[in-house]
Amino acid sequence: MHITEEDYIAGAGTRLPRRRRLFLALLLGLMAAFGPLCTDTYLPSLPAMAADLSISTATTQLTITACLLGMALGQLFVGPLSDSTGRRKPLFVALVFFTLASACCAAAKTGNSFIALRFAQGLGGAGGIVLARAMACDLFRGAELTNFMSLLMVVNGVAPITGPMLGGWLAALAGWPAIFYFLACFGVLLIVLSVFGLPETLPQGMRRSGGVRASWTAMGELLRQKPFMCYVGVQGFTMGGFFGYVAASPFVLQGMYGLSPKTYSIIFGCNALSLMFFAFGTARNARRLGEARLLRIGNSLRAVACLGVLAVTVVAPASPVPLLIGLFFMIALQGMTLPTSFTIGISAQNVGAGTASGILGVSVFIFGALTSPLVGLAGGGTALPLGIVCAVTGVASALLGYVGDRELKKLRAASGPEAQTHS
């Protein structure tokens, strides 16, 4: 498949055969899944890892934070770089770096070295995450982009389902280092598939001139665009709550409520299935209802679910059932809010898909890196910090979505009818 400038402008993905679209959704979805794969696969092993490396609960959660920070900073560099150089070369380098770092993580002997290697692993994984989204933006426009991003989330949803179960099985079979050897093999697979099955989606004539410096200048311009930054906040706060759940749930559900690793993995998988279901529904209804309406509905319902999580941690802490119900809906509704806020955010900027995707991705992992240690400040004996993080992030996401919608309407009204691309 060769993409010309005319193909790029028109959205070449809309003319691809169904089998080709599904292959791209699978491949790009697997690359975008670096985030959940790097965290979810070793979640059931966190307590055992803490004991093996002789580190505290808070330090163990810092291994999540380090990886998320690496993914955030990596996207800040790779995204703008790809707007100038194209997508394929940065992607290949990032995948090789991820593979090597994953193999080194398996050999770590101390907590500090493991944290450093997790940061390096995150840097490599960042390339796959940001370029998967940038390539999707190269290929699709408007409702078609929302549809495709929802399909990516469906593929992503497989990682939280299979990750903890696979990680638990590998750890039981050969110890927690086997998890990271698996991730290294996963990186090798993506290198092969990308080299032979993934085209360059950004034609030479559509690349930003001036190199990396011009890309960084454009990034500064992007940070001053109010509507876009509102949707950056929606993505960031939404995923901040999710990563808070990821970091706290093994200790709350296994430590506080006494659930087994197997039961925990099943619950985690059910939550991921709910996200996939809502993402699929979003894909089916994006064109009929519009991204803006779906985002408003999803943000409002999710804020209610997040407040419910806080409420049950205060009034009904004895049983895990009310907490699990609230977390279920909080995670499920991300299937509505994440693809729609991404599409609207991309439409609200005029800099470049790589740069915009990088900033959107940075918000996700920076917020995740901030919330992960917060949920562990009170130890594993209470779920209240998790409830507070969920409530704050859920309400903040809904408020920013409202402000972003208002600012975008103002912008499009000032730009004229030709800018009215979304309802």
Q: How many CB atoms lie within 10 A of CB 162?
A: 18
Mean pLDDT for 110-139 is 88
**Lowest mean pLDDT across 12-21, 41-50, 106-115, 188-197:** 12-21
Mean pLDDT for 159-188 is 84
Please give the pLDDT value at position 380: 59
Q: Are 331 and 242 in contact (CB under 8 A)?
A: yes
Reported as a pLDDT band with limits 50, 70 and 90, residue 12 is low
Q: Which of 117-131, 165-179, 262-276, 374-388 has the highest mean pLDDT?
A: 117-131
Please give the pLDDT value at position 211: 62
Helix (H, G, I), strand (E, B) or coil at 4: coil
> What confidence tens digit (pLDDT) does each residue in 183-214 have?
999 999 999 998 888 888 887 777 777 666 77
Helix (H, G, I), strand (E, B) or coil at 209: coil
Amino acid at residue number 59: T
Which domains are assigned to the chain? 5-419 (1.20.1250.20)
Q: What is the mean pLDDT of the chain?
A: 82
Please give the pLDDT value at position 317: 80
Q: Is the pLDDT of residue 281 over 60?
A: yes
Q: Is the pLDDT of residue 235 over 70?
A: yes
pLDDT > 70 fraction of the chain, expressed in percent and rounded:
91
Mean pLDDT for 82-107 is 90
Pick the residue with more confidence: 54 or 28? Answer: 28
Q: Is the pLDDT of residue 35 over 80?
A: no
Amino acid at residue number 406: R
Please give the pLDDT value at position 169: 84
Residues 6+ apart with CB under 8 A from 241: 306, 330, 371, 389, 390, 393, 394, 397
Q: Is the pLDDT of residue 76 over 80?
A: yes
Q: Are 278 and 286 in contact (CB under 8 A)?
A: no
